[in-house]
Structure 1
């Protein structure tokens, strides 16, 4: 089954100093870099997804800002496959499906940010499109959330969404993926 690595929203605003820093994004980035190395050595495609918010009310990832840029530690080069999206679902109003068809991809390996938003939406969309997704639990992260003034810690949000996604996708660590 031919695979592609989907790296979602690993952008400066999600890191310390950005407009919407996440829980331990550098830890997730280290794992994402391991996956990039693996896919490069296997000569398999890596697709980088960049979320760009349009309009003056963009709270982060605003077009034409430093924060919308990919994190510089990603292994992006001039031949990298990149897609800009404007919605949590990486398939919505993008050419992702066409690109996957062009490369004859049958399975998506998903990593990036945030577990409860774009990872969740894209995993569900890839399941509906029969891409048998694998979500890399330690190569994703999220942030603390609030509901009715109650704090829900990022670790709990992350685990909850991964548990939910495990019903429709394979959830693995990077080590489990590479060495199994």
Structure 2
């Protein structure tokens, strides 16, 4: 039994160019995530999907029942792959994710998804705090431009700053190519 799993966070239609919150580089991130998922499936590594739904039908994004909440076609779950529904950035908050991982004896996670500065950040930090070893596939994640105090921060800088912060104490980082060329079936090192 594999002691690690791939966790796919919020790769949903809302983030595509046709969605209400398009992300910079989302197509490349989804393509890389699909490669990681395919490799995991080939190796018998569990793949767990996390799907964000707004709590209100009045919400501007991720409205239940809308096309935006659907998981992107390139990474759609296969039969038997769990889908954890969440309502907050942290995939562990008020969800069954920890229980699901613990029931399967999972000790380490390989994380892909969106948005880097929100749900990837919150989920990775929570996972590390709960004792899981975490590897983030940095080029299988995406984000968007932000603004602070009148200063526009380009998505590439947002992503780089967040990945640097996670690498400092919460996760190891790999590119898709490096991960697949390495020990894609081995558990990531503890942070």
Q: Same fold (TM over 0.5)?
A: yes
Q: Distance in 2 between matches of 1:64 and 1:170?
A: 36
Q: Distance in 2 between matches of 1:171 and 1:10?
A: 19
Residue 56 of structure 1, CA deviation: 4.1
Residue 178 of structure 1, CA deviation: 1.8
The correspondence of residues 30-45 of structure 1 with structure 2, limited to 5 A, is: 30-45=31-46
Residue 62 of structure 1, CA deviation: 1.0
Residue 77 of structure 1, CA deviation: 2.1
Aligned to 1:84: 85
Residue 177 of structure 1, CA deviation: 1.4
Q: Distance in 1 between matches of 2:176 and 2:84?
A: 23
Q: Distance in 1 between matches of 2:113 and 2:59?
A: 20
Aligned to 1:173: 175
Aligned to 1:115: 116
Q: Distance in 1 between matches of 2:58 and 2:164?
A: 33
Q: Distance in 1 between matches of 2:23 and 2:58?
A: 20
Q: Is the Cα contact below 8 Å between 2:146 and 2:155 reproduced in 1?
A: yes
Structure 1 stretches lacking a partner, 5+ long: none
Aligned to 2:147: 146
Residue 64 of structure 1, CA deviation: 1.4
Is 1:65 the counterpart of 2:70? The answer is no
Aligned to 1:133: 134
The correspondence of residues 16-55 of structure 1 with structure 2, limited to 5 A, is: 16-55=17-56
Q: Look up the SS of the partner of 1:133 in the other structure.
A: strand
Q: Is the Cα contact below 8 Å between 1:15 and 1:25 reproduced in 2?
A: yes
Q: Write out the 4+ residue segments of structure 1 that deviate beyond 4 Å after TM superposition.
A: none
Residue 54 of structure 1, CA deviation: 1.4
Count residues in correspondence. 180
Q: Is the Cα contact below 8 Å between 1:36 and 1:75 reproduced in 2?
A: no
Q: Is the Cα contact below 8 Å between 2:57 and 2:64 reproduced in 1?
A: no
Q: Distance in 1 between matches of 2:72 and 2:39?
A: 19
Residue 120 of structure 1, CA deviation: 0.2
Q: Distance in 2 between matches of 1:74 and 1:109?
A: 15
Q: Is the Cα contact below 8 Å between 2:112 and 2:141 reproduced in 1?
A: yes
Q: Is the Cα contact below 8 Å between 1:10 and 1:70 reproduced in 2?
A: yes
Structure 2 stretches lacking a partner, 5+ long: 183-191
TM-score (norm 1): 0.97
Residue 149 of structure 1, CA deviation: 2.0
Residue 7 of structure 1, CA deviation: 0.3
